[in-house]
Amino acid sequence: MEILSHPLYLAPVPLYARLFAADGIVFDGGSPFTKQTFRNRAVIATENGTQALTIPIVHTGGKQAMRDIRISEHGNWRHLHWNAIVSAYRKSPFFDYYADDFAHFYEERDGFLMDFNLRLHAVVCDLLGLERNTGTTVERAKKNLEDLRSLAEPATLTQAKGFTPQPYYQVFTQRNGFQPCLSIADLLFNMGPEALITLRDCAR
């Protein structure tokens, strides 16, 4: 069974746990873009608790499909996001191994949010060794897919079916306690190759 998801920005761990147990993932780029969701927001763990990183978008008025949303370069967000990631994970066990794979995303300019998210997703899957079929709803019909688009909503993330949070090493656990359901970047930088084991355990 393949799963259906919105294209998310460094998507939360629950989505990748569900992908671990699936045959592939299909991204819905045709649904209307919704603010304050993981479509353009990722949550990381910092010394002072969790921090949301939000990609600004170009507002044109009216509803737009996700695939038509353009990234705004307002506010120097790329510099701010990368500095936040470095500050949060530079002491994590695997940051030095993976930093170069992500750094260039915050130096280049991408016109469309969906393209940016899908490129990041491909890198994440490659680093995880998570080889699954990937497509879009332009290429495949929505039928016969398990609909996990609700995982884009922060309010429903912790109640995701088929996902049981499993504690793993985090840099600031002693200070802030374990933080579940963060961006996949948190799991990757902290656990490296063992991230796949954590995803397997979360999907049980």
Over the stretch 3-60, which tens digit does the pLDDT of each residue have? 999 999 999 999 999 999 999 999 999 999 999 999 999 999 999 999 999 999 998 8
**pTM of this structure:** 0.95
Element (H, E) at 42: strand 41-46
- Rounded distance between C-alpha atoms, residue 179 and residue 160, angstroms: 16
Number of domains in the chain: 1
What is the residue range of 136's domain? Answer: 2-202
Give residue-wise pLDDT tens across range 174-196: 999 999 999 999 999 999 999 99
Using only the alpha carbons of the chain, give its radius of gyration: 16
